[in-house]
Structure 1
Amino acid sequence: MRLLLVEDDPLLGDGIGAGLRQEGYAVDWVRDGEAAVQACASDRFDLIVLDLGLPRLSGMEVLKRLRRNGNDTPVLILTAYDAVADRVQGLDAGADDYLTKPFDIDELAARLRALARRRSGRATTAIEHGALVLDPAAHTLTCNGVPVELPAREFALLHLLLQHAGEALSRSRLEEALYGWDMGVESNTLEVYIHHLRKKLGADLIRTVRGVGYMVLK
């Protein structure tokens, strides 16, 4: 999943980005409010982690602009502002969750999984599809009850395809979810991941939709 991190503190932003990449997210990081608004206008994200005390444009104003523009991407506010009034204001402005600093990266990751789960309309984190059971929280996959080991990007790719089972996802949509701005993508990288998944899980699991991309049938 592709995540936009909006945080002006370089050490904290670097640490959050590293932690969430370990969780399988493709993290794009901007350090001020204006850059966040521009990023959301030009790119598509699955989740946004938003600080409030930002230069150029406050996080609260970023949130208000996104919602006024019809952007319904789930937003988790991550801030040192811990007063009840601040939390109420953030949630009323359109935030989906609110976490105060200092925080534990595991809690942040769990809250993001909950936001993604609610957005997809699922009650549990694990996704069951035929013989497959994928649990993003535990980062495990089983097929007919047998554990299957997948590298991080193969796991993230399968997770995305299963979340959108029955929907053809374009190559660009899949690459956006797997890579951030700063990572170069070889022309055949996606095909290599698809090939590996088919080899491990069966050739019929992932269908090629010519002229569109790839999909997992419902």
Structure 2
Amino acid sequence: MLKILLIEDEPRLNEHLRNGLVQQGYLVDVAFNGSEGLEMASVNQYDLVVLDVMLPGQSGFEVLDNLKRFNVQVPVIIISALNNSERVIEGLDKGAIDYIKKPFDFGEFLARIRAVTRKPGSRNYTYYRVGDLEMDLISRKVMLQKNELMLTKREFMLLELLLINCNRVLSKTEIAEKVWEVNFDMSSNVIEVHLSQLRKKLADTIIRTKVGMGYYIEGELIRQ
């Protein structure tokens, strides 16, 4: 499950792209200005950044410069209404791996993402391990102390989300948006029930609760 950071200041486009990407199975974080997006990219692990150019705080080109300065190595796709050749060349020279001119077809946008995340050097991990817990996304197997765990589809997605965000607290809202439907009933205790079942299968060894904030997996994450 690829994790994407979308940095786009236009609210309706931000929501449209985010919802479309989530429906395709991607994990998506969003930012509405360059400074916020840069901070998120610096402290979290992403497989791809989708970056607008004309942003408040700092421009997309400034974000690219600062990503390089902070040694944040992540593929970047620029989406911009600035579509003259000079701007495209500038964006690519600053390190973007692709430049998509607005307006664009969403199907083409998805195809560009698939192409970028297939390229060597993009961080498309398929194996995660924390301690004695292993998850293989290709075989869809989860092992604990070399014993395979039988997880439901939702439990698998929930564990994958927690592993990808290892040591970062995920709120109930964020879990609902990324594992369940966007319009999930937040008054429901479904998330707590699934977490309880998952914890039992993991012998309650790895999932932590931060009261009033959310849930996280604690440990040293190894990805391949």
| TM norm structure 2 | 0.61
Aligned to 2:57: 56
Aligned to 1:5: 6
Greater shift in the superposed pair: 104-113 or 57-66 = 104-113
**Following TM superposition, by how much is the alpha carbon of 1:184 offset from its aligned partner in structure 2, in angstroms?**
3.7
* 1:157–1:174 Cα contact (<8 Å) kept: no
**Following TM superposition, by how much is the alpha carbon of 1:79 offset from its aligned partner in structure 2, in angstroms?**
0.5
Q: Pick closer, same or farther for the CA change 1:193–1:19 going to 2, 3 Å.
A: farther
* C-alpha RMSD over aligned residues: 4.0
Aligned to 1:74: 75
Q: Pick closer, same or farther for the CA change 1:63–1:191 going to 2, 3 Å.
A: farther
* Aligned ranges 1:88-107 → 2 under 5 Å: 88-107=89-108
Can you list the C-alpha shifts for 1:90-135, whole angstroms capped at 9, x where unaligned?
00001011101010111111111111111269xxxxxx967x9xxx
Name the CA distance, whole Å, in 1 between partners of 2:36 and 2:113.
22
Q: Pick closer, same or farther for the CA change 1:94–1:181 going to 2, 3 Å.
A: farther
Aligned to 2:85: 84
Name the CA distance, whole Å, in 1 between partners of 2:138 and 2:17.
31
* Aligned ranges 1:1-218 → 2 under 5 Å: 1-118=2-119, 119=122, 170=163, 172-173=165-166, 182-184=173-175, 186=191, 189=194
Name the CA distance, whole Å, in 2 between partners of 1:110 and 1:60.
23
Identical amino acids, percent of aligned pairs:
32
Q: Pick closer, same or farther for the CA change 1:171–1:25 going to 2, 3 Å.
A: closer
Q: Pick closer, same or farther for the CA change 1:4–1:194 going to 2, 3 Å.
A: farther
Query: For structure 1, which runs of at least 5 residues remain unmatched after alignment?
Result: 122-127, 133-149, 161-168, 196-207
Q: In structure 1, give the amino acid aligned to 2:89.
A: V
Aligned residue-pair number: 172
Can you list the C-alpha shifts for 1:20-54, whole angstroms capped at 9, x where unaligned?
11111111111111101111122221110000000
| TM norm structure 1 | 0.62
Q: In structure 2, give the amino acid aligned to 1:24.
A: G
